[in-house]
């Protein structure tokens, strides 16, 4: 059975869109994000984590105000809300903390790998036994643990060569140390390590294969649109199709390869025919989040049984994927694309 993965980028909306000029949850944001269909997600990545310079070392956290004691910093309110909401809708969901490829990334960690990877494990330890009251009276508390680490394996700026962003010769060492250290956090809790890879630069070795549970292929804008390329480049290290997760963009469907851009229905055959571990979608909380969730449910129902109750018909979802006038729930409004009925918040 294919696993369904997706992402929430909790730095958006930004401070300027908050009524209180901060990054806390607020009524309108909670109202919007409450419409996300977390019940159609098996693995949820929450971003943006990065490497933040604190004193003599770098720590794994969110935003410049993160600390070792509170790695989620100014984003704590949003992070806790997402974890709680996702687990309330789907108690079996896996929550993954995702490191991005900008701001503080692998390019700054050359002399701080040990302390940094220790801080990743520290983050897992902080959240391991946390709980939150259920919104339903009399129900068990919601478990708030985080299940693993993922890195958005991309370049910094426009430089796509090794040595830029997260493309680093020592990336295999970082991943290996993270694997070892988070596995030592608990003898009873399974932690996952994965990469969301736009490329395979520097990854073709056995250390990477031994460290990773999955490679999520960014088969859309900016990434390698040919999954065979991932297979060929990673086979030297022992990564096979059953560790690969096919990726598509629901944020902007035309960014996918031509086969998928024509119809999202084609991705079901691609995943099944190639024996991939599953499918990941980028992402769940864009301006067109109603449509993104509709696609997520549509995909879930094609890979799982029993089916989830849908908010929109299959024909609506497919028609809005990439028609001439409706792209991912958006229509042209003047010179810009804007969400349109029935996909508006």
What pLDDT score was predicted for residue 284? 98
pLDDT at 116 over 90: yes
Let me know if residue 324 belongs to a domain: no
Largest interatomic CA distance in the chain: 57
Let me know if residue 154 belongs to a domain: yes
Look up the pTM and report it.
Answer: 0.98
Let me know if residue 335 belongs to a domain: no
- The CA-atom distances, in angstroms, between 7 and each of 45, 285, 286 are 5, 8, 10
Collect all residues with Cβ–Cβ distance below 8 Å to 124 and sequence separation of at least 6: 146, 148, 149, 182, 185, 191
Q: How far apart are CA 332 and CA 314, in angstroms?
A: 23
Q: Which range of residues forms the domain containing residue 7?
A: 3-313
Let me know if residue 291 belongs to a domain: yes
Let me know if residue 126 belongs to a domain: yes
pLDDT tens digits, one per residue of 296-326? 999 999 999 999 999 999 999 999 998 888 8
Q: How far apart are CA 344 and CA 338, in angstroms?
A: 9
Write the CATH number for 162. Answer: 3.20.20.80
User: Helix 266-274 to helix 289-303 angle, to the nearest 10 degrees?
Assistant: 40
Collect all residues with Cβ–Cβ distance below 8 Å to 240 and sequence separation of at least 6: 231
3-state secondary structure of 8: strand
Collect all residues with Cβ–Cβ distance below 8 Å to 98 and sequence separation of at least 6: 7, 45, 46, 47, 48, 49, 149, 150, 151, 152, 196
pLDDT tens digits, one per residue of 122-164? 999 999 999 999 999 999 999 999 999 999 999 988 888 899 9
- Give the H or E element holding residue 132: strand 131-132
> Do 203 and 234 meet the contact criterion of CB atoms below 8 Å apart?
yes
Q: How far apart are CA 104 and CA 98, in angstroms?
A: 13
pLDDT band at 103 (very low <50, low <70, confident <90, very high): confident
User: Helix 171-183 to helix 113-128 angle, to the nearest 10 degrees?
Assistant: 30
Mean pLDDT calculated for residue range 217-229: 95
Query: Which token pair is 28?
Result: 């309108």
Let me know if residue 47 belongs to a domain: yes
Let me know if residue 318 belongs to a domain: no
Collect all residues with Cβ–Cβ distance below 8 Å to 335 and sequence separation of at least 6: none
Q: Is the torsion defined by CA of 179, 100, 49, 190 positive or negative?
A: negative
What pLDDT score was predicted for residue 40? 98
> What average pLDDT is seen over the chain?
96
Number of structural domains found in the chain? 1
Let me know if residue 30 belongs to a domain: yes
């Amino acid at each position: 059975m294919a696993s369904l993965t997706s992402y929430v980028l909790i730095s958006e909306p930004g401070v300027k869109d908050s009524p209180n000029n901060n990054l806390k949850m607020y009524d309108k944001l909670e109202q919007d994000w409450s419409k996300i269909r977390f019940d159609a997600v098996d693995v949820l990545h929450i971003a943006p984590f990065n490497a933040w310079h604190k004193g003599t070392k770098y720590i794994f956290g969110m935003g410049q105000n993160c600390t070792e004691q509170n790695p989620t910093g100014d984003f704590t309110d949003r992070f806790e809300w997402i974890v709680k909401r996702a687990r309330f809708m789907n108690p079996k969901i896996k929550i993954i903390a995702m490191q991005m490829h900008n701001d503080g990334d692998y390019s700054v960690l050359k002399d701080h790998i040990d302390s940094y990877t220790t801080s990743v494990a520290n983050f897992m330890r902080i959240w391991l036994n946390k709980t939150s009251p259920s919104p339903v009276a009399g129900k068990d508390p919601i478990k708030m643990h985080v299940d693993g680490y993922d890195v958005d394996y991309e370049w910094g700026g426009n430089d796509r060569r090794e040595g830029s962003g997260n493309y680093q010769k020592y990336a295999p060492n970082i991943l290996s140390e993270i694997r070892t250290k988070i596995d030592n956090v608990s003898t009873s809790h399974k932690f996952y390590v994965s990469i969301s890879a736009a490329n395979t630069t520097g990854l073709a070795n056995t250390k990477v294969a031994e460290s990773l549970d999955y490679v999520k292929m960014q088969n859309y804008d900016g990434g390698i649109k040919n999954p065979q390329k991932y297979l060929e480049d990673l086979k030297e290290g022992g990564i096979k199709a059953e560790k690969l997760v096919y990726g598509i963009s629901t944020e902007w469907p035309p960014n996918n390869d031509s086969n998928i851009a024509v119809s999202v229905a084609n991705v079901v055959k691609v995943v099944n025919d190639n024996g991939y571990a599953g499918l990941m979608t980028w992402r769940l909380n864009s301006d067109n989040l109603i449509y993104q969730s509709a696609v997520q449910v549509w995909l879930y129902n094609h890979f799982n049984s029993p089916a989830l109750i849908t908010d929109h018909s299959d024909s609506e979802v497919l028609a809005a994927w990439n028609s001439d006038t409706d792209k991912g729930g958006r229509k042209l409004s003047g010179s810009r694309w804007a969400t349109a009925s029935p996909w508006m918040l």
